[in-house]
Structure 1
Amino acid sequence: MKQKSETLLFIAWAVSLAATLGSLFFSEILRYTPCELCWFQRIFMYPLVVIYGVSLIRKNTQTALSGLILSGIGGCISIYHYLIQKVPAFQSAGDACGTVPCNAAYINWGGFVTIPFLAGTAFAIIFICHVMTIREQRSNA
């Protein structure tokens, strides 16, 4: 595996690890109860730490291909969740989201940075890194 591909996979792994630790910080330290959409985002984020970690150890980007799919789906969920929080036309969908409404925002830094925004940013970075890794490999093949 080339150095650039390794660096991109390391970035994807580091971002997934930071996002996982961040979500655990919000729920376990700050005691924010995750809503249902937050749980779905966690379902798609947590395995990425293992997938990209194994890929780095094995120096094999093929083992990380499922990470591309997981980050794409997780990113779509994050976008939808963010729309529920920030766009009035979507907010009524967040009321029926379980014990914690999905349209509630535990944090709202700068008026736009919420937990789904942070997760969506992480998913986007991971997805882009993975696409760049694939393009790098194809150009070197």
Structure 2
Amino acid sequence: MKKKAENLAVYSWVVALVATLGSLYFSEIRHYEPCLLCWYQRIIMYPLVIIFLIGIILKDRNTFIYGIVFSAIGFLTSWYHYAIQKVTFLQDSSPACGQVSCIAQYINWGGVITIPFLAGIAFTLILIMSLLGFKYSKED
């Protein structure tokens, strides 16, 4: 794997790790109970930490394929979740999420930044870096 691709794998791992630790902070330290869509986003994000770590250690360019698949699914999930939080007409058709509503906003920094927004940024960054990493790793 080329150095550019290796660096992108490390950056992707760091983003996934920070997102994972952030989600654990919100649930375990701040005691914010995750809704159903938050759980789905965690299920998608947590494996990325392990996938990228193994890919970095083995210098496996296929890691970027897994990163693209997981982060694309996470991207769609988190931005859908954010949309149902912020777009009024979507709130009426939002899924019933059990004990915690998916439109609940534990944080709302600046009227824009919510937990799904943060997850969406992480998935977007990982998706972009995975696409670039895949491109650079093919140039070997």
Q: Under TM normalisation by the shorter chain, which class is it?
A: over 0.9
Q: Give the number of the structure whose residues are more often helix, by fraction.
A: 1
Query: How far is 1:74 from its partner?
Result: 0.8
Q: How does 1:105-124 map to 2 (within 5 A)?
A: 105-124=105-124
Question: Which one is further off, 96-105 or 56-65?
Answer: 56-65
**Which consecutive residues of structure 2, in runs of 5 or more, have no partner in the other structure?**
none
Percent identity reads 51
Map of 2:72 onto structure 1 = 72
TM-score w.r.t. length of structure 1:
0.95
- 1:18 equivalent in structure 2: 18
CA contact (8 A) 2:64 2:133 kept: no
TM-score by length of 2: 0.96
Q: RMSD between aligned alpha carbons?
A: 1.1
Shift of 1:63: 3.5
Displaced runs of 4 or more, over 3 A = none
Give aligned pairs, total.
140
How far has the Cα of 1:78 moved from its partner? 0.3
Gaps of 5+ in 1: none
| 1:18-70 per-position Cα deviation (integer Å, ceiling 9, x unaligned) | 00000000000000000000000000000000000000000112144222101
Deviations 1:103-127 (A, max 9, x none): 0100001110000000000000000
Q: State the SS of the aligned residue for 1:93.
A: coil
Contact 1:94/1:101, CA 8 A, preserved across alignment: no
* Distance of 2:85 and 2:110 partners within structure 1: 14
CA distance in 2: counterparts of 1:117 and 1:58, whole angstroms: 32
Aligned residue for 1:83?
A: 83
Moved more, 90-99 or 24-33: 90-99
Name the residue aligned to 2:46. 46
Alignment check: 8 A CA contact 1:95 1:103 kept: no
In the aligned structure 2, how far is the partner of 1:95 from the partner of 1:4?
41
Give the AA of the match of 1:122: A
